[in-house]
C-alpha cells in the first residue's frame, strides 16, 4: 500500500468510524482476544529524565501481539539502556477490565494501559494523562481521535484500525464449487449448503466468547439500521426499538444460519479453538477480523483467505464489513514514570523501529497518517481486503461502542442462551431491551 492508500483509507473510514463514536461504549477490539496472561521482568523505577533506571509497567490486552511485544521489549531496551519494560498481557473484554480495576485497587497501577474510549474513557479519565501535546497527535486520523477525546483533549494513542466480517478459505470455496462470492443472505445460505454437501464444515463459531456475540454479531443488527443513532437513543431512553424491528428480524436469519451450518459445540468453542479450526482447514468461514492474521500465519503460513460481509438481506448496507478503532494506549497520570511512558509511545509512533513493529510485527492497519505501508502483503490478506472495502466505501461502524458500559457482556450472555435454546427470539429481545434500559440509567 503506497502512502496515498493511507489517505484513501482515511476517507473510506470516515463515515464508519464517526458512526461508531459517542460518549458511551464498551471495550474495544471489541474484546477480540482470548483470555491469556504473560509477563516479563517486574520492577519499579523513577522518571527516565533523571538518568536513573526506570521500569515501565505496561498492561495490555492484545493477546495476539504478546510475542511481538516481547521482541519489541528487547529492541527498546537495547536503544534505551536505562529503561526496562515490564509487559503483562491479559485477554480483552471483561477479563481485562476486571484485571485493570484490580491493579488500581491493589496499588499496582500500570504506567501504560489500554482504553477503548467512549464509556471506558468516562470510567478511567481521572486516571489518564492528557496527551494532546504529544508529537504524534497531529498524525492521527481525525475520526480515530474521537472515541479517545473529551473537551478538546486527547487521552490515548490509537493503536490501529481493525475490521471484521466472515473470513473465508478460498481453496475450500473452490473445492465446494463456489464460483461467485455470496453477497446476500440467500447466496450465503447456498454457499454454506454447497460446503456442507462437499463434506466441509461451513462455520467455526466461537460462541463461548461473549464478545463474538455481544459485540461483533449483535453490531450487525445495529449497523444495518437506516439510522443506528436514533435506535440507540431510543433504547437509552427506555423506548425500546428492537422488538418488531424489521432489520433485527432479518438479523436473526443470519444468526440462525450460522448455527445451522456450525461446527459442533459452538458454546464451548473459545476464540483460540475457533481460529485453530479455521486456520487448520477444518472449517471454511469464521466471524473474525484482521487481528487473527498473526495466529493464522502461525498455523498455516500464506493461507489463501479473504473477507466477506455479514449479509442479512440484499440491501447496500448488508454488503459492508464492520470497521473501527479497537483500542488506545493510555498513560497513567499519577505514574512517577509518565514522562518515560510518553517517550515510549512517541518512539512507537515515530521511530523507524516502532513503526516497523506496528506494521510488520503487530500487522496493524495504521491509525497514524505518517506510518507508511509500502507493501500491502506485509499486513496480510485480511487487512488487504479491509483496505479494499474501505477504498470502495463499503464499511459500517462499530456501534457496540455506543452501548451502555457492561451491556455487551449481558447481550452476549443472552445470545448464548438463545443458542442453547433457553430463550426464544421474543424473549431474547425483551431481555436485551430491559437490560439496556436499566444499564443506561446508571
Model confidence pLDDT, tens digit, residues 189-223: 999 999 999 999 999 999 999 999 999 999 999 99
Report the pLDDT averaged over residues 307-326: 92
pTM: 0.79
Residue whose entry in the numeric block shows the C-alpha cell 439500521:
225
Average pLDDT over residues 265-270: 98
Give tens-digit pLDDT for 406-438.
899 999 999 999 999 999 999 999 999 999 999
Q: What is the distance between the alpha carbons of residues 20 and 235, in angstroms, rounded to a whole number?
A: 16
Residue-level pLDDT at 13: 57
Q: What is the pLDDT of residue 38?
A: 40
CATH top-level class of 165-322+406-440 = alpha beta
Using the predicted structure, report yes or no on whether residue 34 has a pLDDT greater than 60. Answer: no
Q: Has residue 78 got a pLDDT over 90?
A: yes
The C-alpha atoms of residue 145 and residue 63 are separated, in whole angstroms, by 24
**Beta bridge partner(s), residue 421:** none
Which regions of the chain carry the CATH code 3.40.190.10? 3-161+325-396, 165-322+406-440
Confidence of residue 39 (pLDDT cuts 50, 70, 90): very low
Identify the pLDDT of residue 25.
Answer: 37
Q: What's the CA gap between 416 and 428, in Å, rounded? A: 10
Choose the CATH number for 3-161+325-396 among 3.40.190.10, 1.10.260.40, 1.20.1050.10, 3.30.70.20: 3.40.190.10
Whole-number pLDDT of residue 22: 38
Which neighbouring-strand residues pair with 87? 58
pLDDT of residue 314: 85
Confidence of residue 47 (pLDDT cuts 50, 70, 90): very low
If pLDDT is split at 50, 70 and 90, which confidence band does 17 have? low
**What is the pLDDT of the chain when averaged over all its residues?**
88
Where do we find the cell 438463545?
A: 418
| 108-122, 286-300, 332-346: least confidently modelled range | 108-122
d(CA 284, CA 150): 42
Q: What is the pLDDT of residue 20?
A: 47
- Average pLDDT (396-410) is 89
Within 13 Å and on the Cβ side, how many CA atoms surround 394?
21
Using CA atoms, how far residue 144 sits from 181, 299, 390, in Å, is 31, 32, 14
Those residues whose C-beta lies under 8 Å from the C-beta of residue 337, and which sit 6 or more positions away, are 45, 46, 47, 48, 54, 55, 56, 111
Amino acid at each position: 500500500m503506497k502512502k496515498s492508500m493511507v489517505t484513501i483509507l482515511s476517507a473510506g473510514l470516515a463515515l464508519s468510524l464517526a458512526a461508531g463514536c459517542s460518549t458511551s461504549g464498551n471495550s474495544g477490539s471489541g474484546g477480540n482476544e482470548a483470555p491469556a496472561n504473560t509477563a516479563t521482568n517486574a520492577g519499579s523505577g523513577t522518571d527516565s529524565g533523571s538518568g536513573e533506571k526506570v521500569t515501565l509497567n505496561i498492561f495490555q490486552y492484545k493477546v495476539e501481539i504478546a510475542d511481538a511485544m516481547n521482541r519489541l521489549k528487547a529492541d527498546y531496551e537495547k536503544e534505551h539502556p536505562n529503561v526496562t519494560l515490564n509487559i503483562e498481557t491479559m485477554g480483552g473484554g471483561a477479563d481485562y477490565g476486571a484485571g485493570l480495576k484490580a491493579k488500581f485497587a491493589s496499588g499496582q497501577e500500570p504506567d501504560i494501559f489500554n482504553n477503548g474510549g467512549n464509556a471506558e474513557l468516562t470510567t478511567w479519565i481521572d486516571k489518564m494523562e492528557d496527551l494532546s501535546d504529544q508529537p504524534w497527535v497531529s498524525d492521527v486520523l481525525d475520526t480515530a481521535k474521537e472515541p479517545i477525546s473529551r473537551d478538546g483533549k486527547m487521552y490515548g494513542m490509537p493503536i490501529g484500525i481493525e475490521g471484521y466480517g466472515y473470513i473465508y478459505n478460498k481453496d475450500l470455496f473452490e473445492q465446494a464449487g463456489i464460483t461467485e462470492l455470496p453477497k446476500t443472505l440467500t447466496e450465503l445460505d447456498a454457499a454454506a449448503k454447497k460446503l456442507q454437501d462437499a463434506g466441509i464444515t461451513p462455520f467455526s463459531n466461537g460462541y463461548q466468547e461473549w464478545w463474538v456475540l455481544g459485540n461483533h454479531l449483535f453490531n450487525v443488527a445495529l449497523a444495518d439500521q437506516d439510522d443506528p443513532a436514533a435506535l440507540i437513543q431510543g433504547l437509552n431512553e427506555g423506548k425500546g426499538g428492537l422488538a418488531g424491528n424489521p432489520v433485527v428480524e432479518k438479523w436473526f436469519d443470519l444468526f440462525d444460519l450460522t448455527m445451522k451450518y456450525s461446527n459442533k459445540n459452538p458454546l464451548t468453542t473459545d476464540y483460540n479453538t475457533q481460529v485453530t479450526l479455521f486456520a487448520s482447514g477444518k472449517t471454511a468461514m469464521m466471524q473474525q477480523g484482521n487481528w487473527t492474521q498473526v495466529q493464522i500465519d502461525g498455523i498455516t503460513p500464506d493461507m489463501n483467505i479473504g473477507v466477506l460481509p455479514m449479509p442479512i438481506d440484499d440491501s447496500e448496507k448488508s454488503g459492508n464489513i464492520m470497521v473501527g478503532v479497537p483500542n488506545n494506549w493510555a498513560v497513567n497520570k499519577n505514574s512517577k514514570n509518565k514522562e518515560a511512558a510518553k517517550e515510549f509511545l512517541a518512539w512507537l509512533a515515530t521511530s523507524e523501529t516502532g513503526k516497523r513493529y506496528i506494521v510488520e510485527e503487530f500487522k496493524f492497519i495504521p491509525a497514524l497518517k505518517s506510518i507508511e505501508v509500502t507493501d500491502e502483503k506485509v499486513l496480510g490478506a485480511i487487512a488487504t481486503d479491509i483496505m479494499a472495502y474501505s477504498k470502495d466505501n463499503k464499511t459500517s461502524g462499530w456501534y457496540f461502542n455506543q452501548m451502555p458500559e457492561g451491556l455487551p457482556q449481558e447481550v452476549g450472555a443472552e445470545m448464548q442462551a438463545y443458542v442453547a435454546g433457553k430463550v426464544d427470539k421474543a424473549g431474547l429481545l425483551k431481555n436485551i431491551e430491559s437490560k439496556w434500559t436499566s444499564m443506561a440509567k446508571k
